[in-house]
């Protein structure tokens, strides 16, 4: 384990991890916007997708900074 408490990965793994999380953040962000536009009564769906987008975006940022 590294000094930051995570398993040591090489740079290629971190870049792949960051790209995957960027894709997930983008998908959940698009779902949040489309759910807000189409499903006005489903506020929980918008909140859930927005939280997931922020979560995966944060993980993606961490992965980019670690690479």
Domain ranges for the chain: 11-66
Share of the chain above pLDDT 90, in %: 0
Per-residue pLDDT tens over the stretch 27-55: 877 887 787 778 777 777 777 877 887 88
With beta carbons less than 8 A apart as the criterion, state whether 29 and 53 touch: yes
pLDDT value of residue 4: 59
More confident residue, 6 or 55: 55
% of the chain at pLDDT higher than 70: 82
DSSP string, the chain: --TTSS----HHHHHHHHHHHHHHHHHHHHHHHHHHHH-TT-HHHHHHHHHHHHHHHHHHHHHHHH-
pTM greater than 0.85 (yes/no): no
* Distance (Å, whole) CA 58 – CA 15: 14
């Amino acid at each position: 384990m590294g000094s930051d408490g995570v398993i040591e990965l090489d740079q290629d793994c971190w870049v792949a991890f960051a790209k995957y999380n960027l894709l997930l953040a983008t998908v959940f962000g698009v779902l949040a916007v489309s759910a807000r536009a189409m499903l006005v009564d489903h506020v929980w769906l918008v909140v859930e997708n927005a939280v997931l987008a922020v979560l995966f975006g944060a993980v993606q940022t961490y992965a980019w900074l670690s690479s």
